[in-house]
Amino acid sequence: MPKLKPGTIVPTPEEDAEIQAGIDADPDTHELTANDFKVMRRVGRPRAAVTKTAVTIRYDQDVIDAFKSSGSGWQTRMNDALRDWLKTHQPR
């Protein structure tokens, strides 16, 4: 057990037993399994099947303004427009 800070109050074995009895009596609690802990270790949003790559790129201001003026999701629409362009064009 790690060294406790001065003034730390540790429950007595009797108090500990009372606390545990209260936990056991609560129908909304359950013991965590190893799998529960494994799932809890995952932080952040789930990984997407198709990932994207962050890049820094410069566009003319009027192009950015046109996409931004279409509202939320403009970056996705810009990505879709580029993908659509690739269907009929070959990048050099």
Number of structural domains the chain divides into = 1
pLDDT at 44: 78
Q: In this structure, is residue 22 part of a structural domain?
A: no
Q: In this structure, is residue 9 part of a structural domain?
A: no
Range of the domain at 74: 60-92
Q: In this structure, is residue 65 part of a structural domain?
A: yes
Of 81 and 47, more confident: 81
Q: In this structure, is residue 90 part of a structural domain?
A: yes
Q: In this structure, is residue 88 part of a structural domain?
A: yes
- Residue 17 pLDDT more than 90? yes
Report how far residue 91's alpha carbon sits from residue 21's, in angstroms, rounded to the nearest whole number.
69
Q: In this structure, is residue 38 part of a structural domain?
A: no
Q: Quickly list H helices, the chain.
A: 13-25, 34-41, 61-68, 74-88
Q: Considering the entire predicted model, what is its pTM? A: 0.48
Q: In this structure, is residue 32 part of a structural domain?
A: no
Amino acid at 12: T
pLDDT at 1: 67
- Residue 5 pLDDT more than 70? yes
pLDDT at 30: 84
